[in-house]
Structures are given as C-alpha cells and as structure tokens.
Amino acid sequence: MTHPHPHLPLQAQPHVHPHPHPHPTGAEQHHVAGQSQIVYVKRPATGASYWLVGLTVLVPLLGWIVGPTSMISSSARGLASDDAFQREVARNASNWGKTMLGLVAVAAAFFAVSVGAMADSTDNSWMLITSTGFLYAIGTANLVGIICGGVSASQGRAFRYALAIPFRAREADFHVA
C-alpha cells in the first residue's frame, strides 16, 4: 500500500474522507492542540416547519382544514420567539393559513350551492364546473405558497405570499417615530 504522505509514519497519516462533506449535518470540526475533534453545534431554527406543516393539506378529506389549521397553530411558537426572523416567518405562515381557511370556507359554500343548484336543473352545470375549478386553483396556490415559504425559510429568507391577507401586521408597522 502506498501512503499519500510517505515521509510521515502510518499513524500520523491525515485521514482522507471519500465524501466531500465528511461531517453530518450540524457538526463542525475543530482542531485543538493538533488533534481533530468533531463537535455538534445546534443550528438556529429557520422556521421552515411553520410553512411545511401545511403539506398536511395533502391528507384526503380533512386536509383542507387540517393543513391551514396546523400552519396557524405551529406558527404560535414562532410568534412568541425572541428572534425577529422567526417571528416574521411565523407571521407570514400564520397569515397564509388564515387566508386558506377563509378561501376553503368560501369554496365549500360555493361548491354546496352549485351542487344544490344542479339538483334543481342541469342548466346550472357551469356553477359546478366553476366551483371545482376554484377548488383546484386555491389548492394549487396553497401548494405553491407552502413550498416557496418552506424553501425560502430554510435558506434564511422570510417569504411573504402576495395572496395572503395580512391578518397580523409586521412589527415594523407598529413602530412610531
């Protein structure tokens, strides 16, 4: 066997790890007195979970209610945080969850009315088609918002969905000069 550093004895050979990132997530390598130690460091929370918990919307039947509700409830922890970034991400996710609950209520009412109208006459089939299209549109907007919000938060950026109703104002709006 050939040694990468033939001038050093075998036990002093540097360890070459085949993987480009030899340390698991959250680990950092520190050199103390010539010895290498791996120290695990807790990374700061990004708030991505406030958004990504909304993926529970994919659960059949109850997902339309559970997804937004879980976004609102999980954001409560972030709203109480000392970290301004956490509060901003939680506020944005909470606003989108509340907006989605409102849209789901409107869509459900519209769908119920369209099904009732279909029972009276088949001439009202446009209502059923429109309400079904509305459901698909808000479902797509929800998935896009959840994924964009989760990815942005994990990259350290606060994502504000333009379609979200600002139920909870930004902290900057409260400051009086």
- Supply the pLDDT for residue 53: 84
The better pLDDT of the pair 29, 157 is held by 157
12-24 pLDDT, tens digit each? 444 443 434 444 4
DSSP string, 34-88: TEEEEEE-PPPP-SHHHHHGGGGGGSTTTHHHHHHHHHHHHHHHHHT-S-HHHHH
pLDDT for the residue 34:
65
Taking only the tens place, the pLDDT of each residue in 29-39 is 555 566 666 65
Chain centroid offset of residue 49 CA: 5
The predicted pLDDT at position 56 comes to 81
Report how far apart, in Å, the C-alpha atoms of 2 and of each of 5, 8, 30, 131 are: 9, 12, 28, 72
Mean pLDDT of 114-134: 79
* Model pLDDT for residues 32-85, shown as the tens digit of each residue: 566 666 656 666 677 888 888 888 877 776 788 888 888 898 888 888 888 888
Q: Which two tokens stand for residue 111?
A: 């769908």
| Number of other CB atoms surrounding residue 144 within 10 Å | 12
